[in-house]
Amino acid sequence: MIAVDTNVLVYAHRRDSEFHTLAAEAIQRLAGHSEVWAIPWPCVHEFLSVATNPRIFKLPTPLETAIAQVEIWQESPSLRFIGEHTRYWENLSVILRHGNITGSKVHDARITAICKAHGVRELWTADRDFSRIAGIGIRNPLLTN
């Protein structure tokens, strides 16, 4: 299973992003296949926070538009929203200790632990900080090979 991080979601949504086309195509590829893909709930929350934030965007996404975007993604029959469950703490504590993860990087470790607990094999993100966190494969879908 492939999971998608916040930054890819924001880029796919925001037409004013220089990465919009690449990110939107990446999401469309996932949504158009029968293979299950995932968005961690913390990434949904962060997407809503970032997209609607006037400190980040001169013209932030209106709340109703951001909510509608999540609902559009939700229409993909192969999408699963994933969150903490029984193996979450076990995964998180190992990831934190192994990488000596502290401070703001704990959020990235949280996403990784959720993904690992749900059997995600690859997280699509443009955030290089995830490379410090062991547990699942990391791929930037915005880079062309």
Predicted local distance difference test score (pLDDT) of residue 34: 87
Phi-psi region of 135 (alpha: psi -120 to 50; beta: other; left: phi over 0): left
For the chain, give the mean pLDDT. Answer: 92
Q: How confident is the model at residue 122 (pLDDT cuts 50, 70, 90)?
A: very high
Predicted local distance difference test score (pLDDT) of residue 144: 66
> Taking a C-beta distance cutoff of 8 angstroms, is the pair 125, 5 a contact?
yes
Looking at domain 2-139, its CATH architecture is: 3-Layer(aba) Sandwich (3.40)
pLDDT digits (tens, 9 = 90+) for 70-111: 999 999 999 999 999 888 898 899 989 988 889 988 999 999
Q: Taking residues 116-128, report their average pLDDT.
A: 92
Predicted local distance difference test score (pLDDT) of residue 104: 85
For helices 88-99 and 106-117, what crossing angle results, to 10°?
Answer: 130
Evaluate if residue 46 carries a pLDDT over 90: yes
Q: Taking residues 47-51, report their average pLDDT.
A: 97
Predicted local distance difference test score (pLDDT) of residue 43: 96
Cα–Cα distance between 26 and 9 in angstroms, integer?
A: 10
The model's pTM: 0.91
- Give the start-to-end residue ranges of the domains of the chain: 2-139
